[in-house]
Chain A
Amino acid sequence: MSTLKVRGLCASAGGTPILNGVDVTVSSGEVHVIMGPNGSGKSTLSHVIMGRPGYEVTEGQVLLDGVDMLALAPWERAKAGLFLALQYPTEVPGVRLEDVLVESFRAAGRDDLQVSALLERESRRIGIEADFLERSLNVDLSGGEKKRNETLQLAVLEPRIAILDELDSGLDVDALHECSQRIEAMTNENHLGVLAITHYNRLLHELRADRIHVLIKGRIVESGGPELATELESDGYARFLPAAEAPSLGAADPFADPFAV
């Protein structure tokens, strides 16, 4: 049983605060979903948890089973059991997936001779052609292929907690089905804990969510069961936004400061 605890997390990019005190806890086997409008800090949250360069953590904690993740290099966080599926997986020319996974297994003290068989098994399960594994990592892959590739790596690496940054974006129906099925299975078979970030509900048709959290301006303003996602889909985020920003206002105050936040 593992638990990822994010406590009062504040972070900024280039001096601009983006996360303003995020609290969320994900345990093994649970699926938590973070939803929110553009610019609410969803992707930043996932990046900061994994330690992507370009952000500064100003306050708060990220603990995995009590271990301070923020003090670790990204690879050590991965070794501790975190995985981040990126919204836009990075192209790494000339580097094969298998070589990366072998190095990862070695660093984690796992038997790297298993990698090839695991890759083969998982590619079949997720619907990835074998020749695709010989190509450079993410180079010349379609958006959907990249997401399948992220899911494949997730399945081979078997982390404790996976953070999925908009896994559903750029995925067609079939790919979405195969990727989310695989992850759903991992939550049951491997007790994988999931923190999924998404704009849309459609991921939740396949991946059964336990909790939905609404992120607005870098803070979780409401949490609830799966019914919250349904409400967000029909009503949008208007009720969570300050009145001045709600999109469906009548006549705007002509004296209001247009730059006010």
Chain B
Amino acid sequence: MFSTEAIDQLAGPDWLQARRISALERAAETGLPSAHEEVWRYTPIGDLELGSFSPVLEAPASMHPDRSGIASDDVVAGSSVIVDLADGHLVGIANAEGVQGVRVELVAEAADGDDLLGRALPVAFDAFNEINLALAPSPIVIRIARGTVLDGPVVVRHRSAAADALTCSRVIVVAGENSEATVVEVHESGDERALAIPVTELVVEQAARLRHLSIQAHGTSVWQLGTQVATIDQDGYLLAAAVALGGAYARLRTDTKMIGRGATGDIIAAFFGDGDQTLDFRTFQQHVAPNTQSNLLFKGALDEAARSIYTGLIRIEKDAAGVTAHQTNRNIKLSQDAWAESVPNLEIENNDVKCSHASAVGPIDEEQRFYLESRGVPTDVAERLVVQGFFNEVLRQLPYRAVVDQVEELLTSRLQVGSDS
């Protein structure tokens, strides 16, 4: 797989280097997954040549240039903190003046770093989580202090630019008791072939309210194997939102664990693929504590020969009475060649629950299109309006309007290009 020499070139205290080395050993032991495993079914994971990518071990001198405009300096000007990661290396933290109650630092430099790293993901799901642990050069922690209500969001910009690069980044967010904050992560890259393995850990402490938005706008030659794990403590609330637009094969596994009584998780996503992109989503809503709720809504549209995979599991554990959990995945196929798979699942060990799941894959609604056309709207514009309307249910729930406006603009232009061809 990768040699421990790579780790020697990364900076870190002894405890971190030791954990990196043992993670690499476990990765080698576990080996890469195959499409025979249920959680990797329908994926092109067998095509991955891990050895053809090299970790970027030296920090770039400065941040890579803006690619998509989604999180340009102007757009994110109102943020509380802007964190820049270039090829996974921390290259800048900009704190807005007068903002209090938020602290961003390297896990390597945190007094409780050893405890923080893996707080929400104590055991890796697969070899890629281990590789991330071993090779992420700058794991960072964003702490929202207890009782703080943060006005401007914290923005983390992940930009990678090196060809054939393996980029690992890890962001840990700890929303302290009764705090309220928004954290936005934007993943961007260029046209270079690359592999990104990001991990996000979200720790929502008692009665905290965290909104997290992850935007994936990679180049079309990039593979992403992403994992996001969240734990929500008593009466806490998490909005875990994702937008996926880029990548050749881009995967995001999202695990949301309601571990404290009265915890609520809203998990939403909007994704659009065209060309021969494959977008892959695996979701787990795990209800450990009683009186917890979760609501999942994933909506996608696929044009040309794009593919999407959605598999989701709601798991209600034995002690979790009084749970409400919903899971909905809807996909629009905008072309004959587009392909979408949707597999919702339930695993319930307590009878006192309200659960539902729904999934749909189909072409654009003919009646909706006709209705708009009958008002004099040209066919291609009518289709674009219907698809934008379809996404609206998710987009209007996303935090940080300035960034979401950019996302909508990008989405509109992608839909316009599609209808011209």
Q: Which of B352-380 contact A (CB under 8 A)?
A: 366-368, 370-379
Asked if A104 is at the interface (CB within 8 A of a chain B CB), the reply is yes
Q: Which residues of A contact B378 (CB under 8 A)?
A: 75, 103, 107
Residue A84 at the chain B interface, CB threshold 8 Å: yes
Question: CB < 8 Å: which of B366, B370, B376, B385 contacts A95?
Answer: B385
**Cross-chain contact B379 with A73 (CB below 8 angstroms):** yes
In the complex, what residue of chain A is closest to B384 when comparing beta carbons? Answer: A103
B392 touches A94 (CB 8 A): yes
A75 touches B393 (CB 8 A): no
What mask results when residues 393 to 417 of chain B are scored 1 for a CB within 8 Å of chain A, else 0?
Answer: 1001000000000000000000000
A95 to B374, Cβ gap below 8 A?
no
Query: Is there contact, CB below 8 Å, between B386 and A92?
Result: yes
Kindly state the separation between the CA atoms of A51 and B379 in the bound complex, as whole angstroms: 13
Q: Contact check, B385 vs A100: say whether CB atoms are below 8 A apart.
A: yes
- Asked if A90 is an interface residue, CB under 8 A from chain B, the answer is yes
Is residue B295 contacting chain A, with contact meaning CB distance below 8 A? no
Hey, which chain A residues are within 8 Å of B281, CB to CB?
Answer: none
Query: B389 to A94, Cβ gap below 8 A?
Result: yes
Q: Are A95 and B375 in contact (CB under 8 A)?
A: no
Collect the chain A residues with CB atoms within 8 Å of residue B372's CB: 92, 95, 100, 103
B390 at the interface (CB under 8 A from A): yes
Q: Is B348 an interface residue (CB 8 A)?
A: no
Q: Are B390 and A104 in contact (CB under 8 A)?
A: no
CA distance A155 to B7 in the complex (A): 71
Chain B residues with CB under 8 A of A224: none
Q: Give me the interface of B with A, judged by CB distance under 8 Å.
A: 366-368, 370-379, 381-382, 385-386, 388-393, 396
Residues of A within 8 A of B376 (CB): 75, 78-79, 104, 107-108, 157
Q: What would 20 more interface pairs be, CB under 8 Å, given A50-B374, A84-B374, A93-B389?
A: A53-B367, A53-B370, A75-B377, A75-B378, A75-B379, A78-B373, A83-B374, A86-B371, A90-B371, A91-B368, A92-B368, A94-B389, A94-B393, A95-B372, A95-B386, A95-B389, A100-B377, A100-B385, A108-B376, A157-B375
Nearest chain-B residue to A81 (Cβ)? Answer: B376
A103 & B377 in contact (Cβ 8 Å cutoff): yes
Q: Is B370 a contact partner of A74 (Cβ separation < 8 A)?
A: yes
A residues within 8 A CB of B374?
Answer: 50-52, 74-75, 77-78, 83-84, 86
A101 touches B371 (CB 8 A): no
| Residue pair A92, B388 in contact (C-beta under 8 Å) | no
Task: Count contacts on A: residues with CB < 8 A to the other chain.
Answer: 31
Partner of A75, one of B373, B389, B396: B373
**A118 CB → nearest B CB, Å:** 14
Residue of A whose beta carbon sits closest to that of B387? A94
Bound CA span A112–B366, Å: 26
A123 lies within 8 A of chain B by Cβ: no
Contact B367 A93 (CB under 8 A): no
Cα separation A77 to B374 with both chains bound (whole Å)? 8
What are 24 A-to-B residue pairs whose CB atoms are below 8 Å? A51-B373, A52-B374, A53-B366, A73-B373, A75-B375, A75-B378, A78-B374, A78-B376, A83-B375, A86-B371, A90-B367, A90-B370, A91-B368, A92-B368, A92-B386, A93-B389, A94-B389, A94-B391, A95-B372, A95-B388, A100-B385, A103-B381, A104-B376, A153-B375
The answer to whether A90 and B368 touch across the interface, beta carbons within 8 angstroms, is yes
Is A60 in contact with chain B by the CB < 8 A criterion?
no
Check: A89 CB closer than 8 A to any chain B CB. Answer: yes
Q: Which residues of A contact B382 (CB under 8 A)?
A: 75, 103
- Name the B residues within 8 Å of A79 (CB-CB): 376
Give the docked Cα–Cα distance between A91 and B370 (Å). 11
Q: Which residues of A contact B391 (CB under 8 A)?
A: 94
Taking the complex as formed, is A136 at the interface, i.e. its CB lies under 8 A from any CB of chain B?
yes
Quote the shortest CB–CB distance from A106 to chain B (angstroms): 8
Cα–Cα, bound, A142→B403 (Å): 35
Q: Is the CB of A107 within 8 A of B377?
A: yes
Complex Cα–Cα for A157 and B376 (A): 9
With the chains together, A65 CA to B320 CA distance in Å? 69
**Shortest Cβ distance from A53 into chain B, in angstroms?**
5
Q: Closest CB-CB distance, A29 to chain B, in whole Å?
A: 22
Q: Which of A86, A90, A94, A153 has the most CB of B within 10 A?
A: A94
- CB-CB under 8 A from B389, the residues of chain A are 92-95, 136
Roughly how many angstroms separate A95 CA and B382 CA in the complex, as a whole number? 10
Residue of A nearest to B392 (CB): A94
